[in-house]
A = this chain, B = another copy of it.
Amino acid sequence: MTASSPRRIHMHENDNVAIVVNDGGLPAGTVFADGLTLVEGVPQGHKVALVDLAQGDAVIRYNVTIGRAAKAIPKGSWVSEQLLDMPPARELDNLPIATVKPAPLPPLEGYTFQGYRNEDGSVGTRNILAITTTVQCVSGVVDFAVKRIKAELLPRYPNVDDVVGLEHTYGCGVAIDAPNAMVPIRTLHNISKNPNFGGQAMVVSLGCEKLQPTRLFPKGSIPIRKADNTIADEAPVVCLQDNHHVGFMSMIDSIMQTAEQQLEVLNRRQRVTCPAADLVVGVQCGGSDAFSGVTANPAVGFATDLLVRAGATVMFSEVTEVRDGIDQLTSRAVNEEVAQAMIREMDWYDNYLKRGGVDRSANTTPGNKKGGLSNIVEKAMGSIVKSGSSPISGVLSPGEKLTTKGLIYAATPASDFICGTLQLAAGMNLHIFTTGRGTPYGLAEVPVIKVATRDDLARRWHDLMDVNAGRIATGEATIESVGWELFQLMLDVASGKKTWAEHWKLHNALVLFNPAPVT
């Protein structure tokens, strides 16, 4: 099949719509190989009706009702978002609980990567000195210090990859005793323990902030190794307001001296051969289009199954993007407890959105719609496929740290930055990000592998996208082949190969999820 012959994709035999694959879309009068004729032009990624639909008929994609026809839609028409009435959200009672018992997939053995094994058993994919901050007040000072550490100290510690200030907007001017304040606090606590930071931590504090170092790290909660190889029961804290700081440079000197002790310990880390089981992969999507659920996300889903077979951990997230498929998830839960935990997270988020006067439909973007995703139901079906087909073995609330392996539902907002930040807190050591519209997303803390859903994006953003899943739509590759390619690339990147975002040093902000008020 040539690139110019008309091409469409549907995801399930019961679907009564398909999406147009060709770059630039297809004009009215286009005849497909099976005789289907377009009665009007259909943009790329948008839906064409495969049958005559009467007003009120279910429009089915992914074998799911993504909406009802707002009026009669003749076969061959463009099923645009205006023609779809969105169904209400699935009620959270009477859901199927652990009803699907997928036959266990065969273990996948023999795959390894070169990682930095930590004392707690976790494995880093990079060797990074992280400087935790308790409050935004110290950011300017930490920026100043990090520049000097990179210029003056880092060259003397060749095994350390980078120095990162964990800056954020939390820590003061916030209702720190509000019921929901535990979310940002535990997020920041757990991020500091990300495997890429080697179990080391240091804190820069102002002194008078609400989020005191002892609140962020209660005594004993973050033991670190000292340069003399003994263990300290708490991370060192540089407090800018301490009386012994006289003049700005004394603060910078304190930070640099503390940093040097950490660098000395981190510099002893060496990459060793680790089984693929030590990967902790966070998957998410952003800037999605109709191809997300057809190419990149199914390929990620295939790779997710490979990872689970290899004994690794995979987190999928983004509450509003699974909400409409909650029945698929509860039925795949390994047990009732896991299913109920998922329901609790959905219910919490429903209420959170309701308090703000909105619902799950606030998720979709102009770009989603331009890309052919009519509503959140359709978007969700395409998003969930990143989770593959394995049983779901655990659930995390926002900001919690992983305690089990396998396929985990880590509840987070869909916001790319908040989701990424929460997956960092959970303990992710590798991030997979699919995009249809395109985003230069990157994190300083963990490598991000970006997967393009479309050929055209992969071609134009050739030095930003790491994998082109668009070849699935054109028939040049399969979901399986791209899934394997991605799996191999994960092992390579985990071993030190740089992603494009790392090459250009593109770093987005940490964005803490704070459902509590500011003051």
Q: Does A504 reach chain B (CB closer than 8 Å)?
A: yes
Instruction: Determine which of B243, B286, B357 lies in contact with A179 in the assembled complex, contact meaning CB atoms within 8 Å.
Output: B357
Indicate whether A172 sits within 8 Å of B415 (C-beta atoms), given known contacts A247-B462, A367-B208, A508-B140.
Answer: yes
Q: Does A1 reach chain B (CB closer than 8 Å)?
A: no
Indicate whether A144 sits within 8 Å of B504 (C-beta atoms), given known contacts A212-B366, A365-B208, A439-B206.
Answer: yes
User: In the complex, what's the smallest C-beta–C-beta distance from A107 to chain B, in angstroms?
Assistant: 37
B208 touches A366 (CB 8 A): yes
A517 touches B352 (CB 8 A): yes
Contact segment of A30-38, A85-93, A120-128, A131-139: A131-139
Report A214-237 CB contacts with B as 1/0, cut-off 8 Å: 000000000000000000000000
Bound CA span A248–B441, Å: 12
Question: How many residues on the A side are at the interface (Cβ–Cβ under 8 A)?
Answer: 86
A464 touches B248 (CB 8 A): yes
Question: In chain B, what residue has the closest Cβ to A147?
Answer: B505
Q: Does A28 reach chain B (CB closer than 8 Å)?
A: no
Report A353-384 CB contacts with B as 1/0, cut-off 8 Å: 10111101011011110110000000000000
| Main SS at interface, chain A | loop
Report A472-505 CB contacts with B as 1/0, cut-off 8 Å: 0000000000000000000000000000110011
Copies in the complex: 2
User: In the complex, what's the smallest C-beta–C-beta distance from A459 to chain B, in angstroms?
Assistant: 8
Contacts of A360 in B (CB 8 A): 519
Bound CA span A214–B136, Å: 31
Which residues of chain A from 365 to 410 have any CB-CB distance to chain B below 8 Å in the complex?
Answer: 365-368, 370-371
Bound CA span A405–B440, Å: 43
A362 touches B172 (CB 8 A): no
Question: In chain B, what residue has the closest Cβ to A370?
Answer: B208
B519 touches A140 (CB 8 A): no
Instruction: Determine which of B136, B358, B504 lies in contact with A508 in the assembled complex, contact meaning CB atoms within 8 Å.
Output: B136
Contacts of A414 in B (CB 8 A): 173, 519
Report A448-486 CB contacts with B as 1/0, cut-off 8 Å: 000000000001111110000000000000000000000
Bound CA span A441–B367, Å: 37
User: In the complex, what's the smallest C-beta–C-beta distance from A453 to chain B, in angstroms?
Assistant: 12
Contacts of A140 in B (CB 8 A): 440-442, 501, 504-508
B367 touches A246 (CB 8 A): no
Instruction: Determine which of B366, B413, B504 lies in contact with A518 in the assembled complex, contact meaning CB atoms within 8 Å.
Output: B413
Contacts of A519 in B (CB 8 A): 320, 353, 358, 360, 362-363, 413-415
Contacts of A287 in B (CB 8 A): 137, 206, 208, 241
Q: Does A210 reach chain B (CB closer than 8 Å)?
A: yes
Knowing that A140-B442, A362-B519 touch, tell me 8 more A-B residue pairs with CB under 8 angstroms.
A141-B440, A141-B506, A169-B169, A169-B511, A209-B367, A210-B366, A357-B516, A413-B519
A/B interface sample: 22 pairs, CB < 8 A: A136-B417, A137-B441, A140-B505, A141-B506, A143-B507, A169-B509, A173-B414, A173-B417, A178-B357, A206-B287, A206-B437, A208-B368, A208-B437, A241-B438, A243-B460, A246-B460, A246-B462, A249-B463, A355-B517, A362-B519, A413-B519, A415-B519
The 8 closest A-B pairs by CB, nearest first: A208-B367, A173-B415, A140-B506, A356-B517, A208-B437, A175-B362, A175-B358, A169-B511
Which residues on A are within 8 Å of B, measured CB to CB? 136-141, 143-144, 167, 169, 172-180, 206-210, 212, 240-241, 243, 245-249, 251, 286-287, 320, 352-353, 355-358, 360, 362-363, 365-368, 370-371, 413-419, 437-442, 459-464, 500-501, 504-509, 511, 513, 515-519
